[in-house]
């Protein structure tokens, strides 16, 4: 199946998600990258890029809305202490 590309914003960051429901006839693939600002860290990746392979039908089984699933993933990870610490440190700046 052909890749599906989605662009959306999450907390002021423009994100592109490319979802391939069936890659190599065996697995599904989701790529998530921050495109503006380019390479901005996300709660699922420090580099602004994440490649994720999973069982075919996983996203479809959860309603099929790729953007909603990526946002839910980002929100879930953003609630964790590591991301909250990163956000707080980013606001304050660092002297070191």
pLDDT reported for residue 39: 96
Which residue(s) pair with 51 in the sheet?
31
Residue 89 DSSP SS3: helix
Between CA 71 and CA 82 the distance in angstroms is 18
SS3 state at 20: strand
| In the chain, domain spans | 4-92
What is the β-pairing status of strands 27-36 and 13-23?
A: antiparallel
Q: Name the β-bridge partners of 50.
A: 32
Q: How far is CA 39 from the centre of its chain?
A: 12
Whether pLDDT at 96 is above 70: no
Q: What is the pTM of this model?
A: 0.87
Average pLDDT over residues 17-31: 95
Most trustworthy range by pLDDT among 1-5, 7-11, 56-60, 79-83 = 7-11
Predicted confidence at residue 93, as pLDDT, reads: 63
- pLDDT per residue as tens digits for the range 59-68: 998 888 999 9
């Amino acid at each position: 199946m052909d890749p599906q590309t989605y662009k959306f914003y999450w907390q002021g960051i423009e994100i592109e998600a490319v979802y391939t429901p069936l890659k190599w006839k065996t697995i599904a693939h989701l790529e998530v990258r921050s495109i503006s600002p380019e390479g901005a860290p996300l709660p699922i990746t420090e580099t602004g890029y994440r490649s994720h392979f999973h069982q075919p039908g996983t996203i479809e089984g959860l309603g099929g809305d790729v953007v909603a699933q990526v946002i839910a993933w980002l929100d879930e990870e953003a609630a964790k202490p590591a991301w909250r610490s990163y956000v707080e440190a980013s606001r304050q700046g660092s002297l070191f």
